[in-house]
Amino acid sequence: MTYQQTKQWIVDGNVDNYPNDTQIQEVAEYIKNNQVVAFPTETVYGLGGNARSDQAIDKIFQAKGRPSDNPLIVHISSKSQLAEYVENITDNAKQLIEAFWPGPLTIVLPHNGKLSPKVTAGLSTVAVRMPDHPVALAIIEAAGLPIAAPSANRSGRPSPTTAAHVTQDLDGKIAGVVDGGATGVGVESTVVDCTTEKVMILRPGGITKEALEQVVGEVLQDPALTEEEEAPKSPGMKYTHYAPSAPLILVDGDINFLRKNVLASKQEGKRVGTLLTQEHQGLSEADKEVIIGSKEYLPEVARALYEALRGFEANEVDIIYSEVFPETDLGSAIMNRLRKAAGGKILQQK
């Protein structure tokens, strides 16, 4: 489906009563009429549609170019709304909801069949979260229905953290975009399976494993984080994601090892880009360096990640080398996204 023009709403960050704002009301009408609209959350921009409507979900998949066997996250505006769409809420889920909702945590539970089966990709479970963003919550509340919302980008592209990113990928392909400024966390929500005895991370994200374990004790990590699964329970577990405009290779080694690979590629006549922390700015000898923040402050890196991946314009470089990060705390989410963006390609210093 194509649109002559994708409508844009610019939402004033100082509005006190979002649900009664005329623009929010108009966006809600679009959603209720099974149109799809991009809007900001605290993680990335989401592409929202009525989670009870097959028609709306088809439009999401079509706009993104996303395979329909990949489940979508359902966004709700209150904790009480969860009970309307799941069979039961486990004790672990209740504890995590109390600790982290609203926030960047998505919980997988058995659904009760009241959502479009296209949202769940035919699975018996559904992934649900309550975003910590006033605009997102106001839209869901005003629409009066659950909103399915994957990231608002073409499938395989880096996720959008500004309305401009959404427009780059989806202009003319969706009904509208709500510009609420840049997002905060920068990487998607953590997805956890609460149908098992111990909570299991299906996708690392804005809530760290360490933070989860402070609430529910030992938390497991799904082996499918490193292996493709035929029927993934979680969004983002299948297919290539977050890819920049040129092939990306991760470099697990010091800056001298990274520079060595840069120079080798330049000798082959390639234009080379590097994704670096500010500690190594100017040291790679690449044709273009994109700085992602400080290695000493990973929240800054997470916020800058997708903007940085989009910073290499098409036909600007032939290959990109990136630093890697320690896989603790938020580093797990950053490395999960970088590995997917690189298609698993990594060079190890010996």
- Binding site: which residues? 43, 66, 70, 75, 125, 129, 149, 151, 159, 189, 203, 242
124 C-beta neighbours (distance < 10 Å), count: 12
CA dihedral of residues 238, 241, 247, 248 (deg, nearest 10): -100
Binding-site residue set for ATP: 66, 70, 125, 151, 159, 203, 242
Give just the sign of the alpha carbon dihedral 156, 235, 302, 163: positive
**Cα distance between residue 100 and residue 313, in whole Å:** 37
Residue among 77, 58, 76, 78 nearest 68 (CA): 58
Rounded Cα distance between 170 and 178, Å, is 13
Instruction: Decide: residue 203, CB within 10 A, 0-12 exposed, 13-18 middle, 19+ buried.
Output: buried
135 and 11 Cβ atoms separated by less than 8 Å: yes
Q: Which three-class secondary structure state does DSSP give residue 247?
A: coil
**What is the spatial distance between Cα 4 and Cα 135, in angstroms, rounded to a whole number?**
26
Q: Which two tokens stand for residue 207?
A: 């809530």
Backbone angles phi, psi at 223, to 5 degrees: -55, -25
- DSSP letter string over 175-223? SEEEE----SS-SPPEEEE-SSSS-EEEE--SS-HHHHHHHHS--EE-G
Q: State the Cα–Cα distance between residues 205 and 190, nearest whole angstrom.
A: 4
Residue set of the binding site for L-threonine:
43, 75, 129, 149, 189
Q: How far apart are CA 305 and CA 325, in angstroms?
A: 12
| Phi (first) and psi of residue 74, to 5 degrees | -95, 130
Residue written as tokens 């099974």? Answer: 34
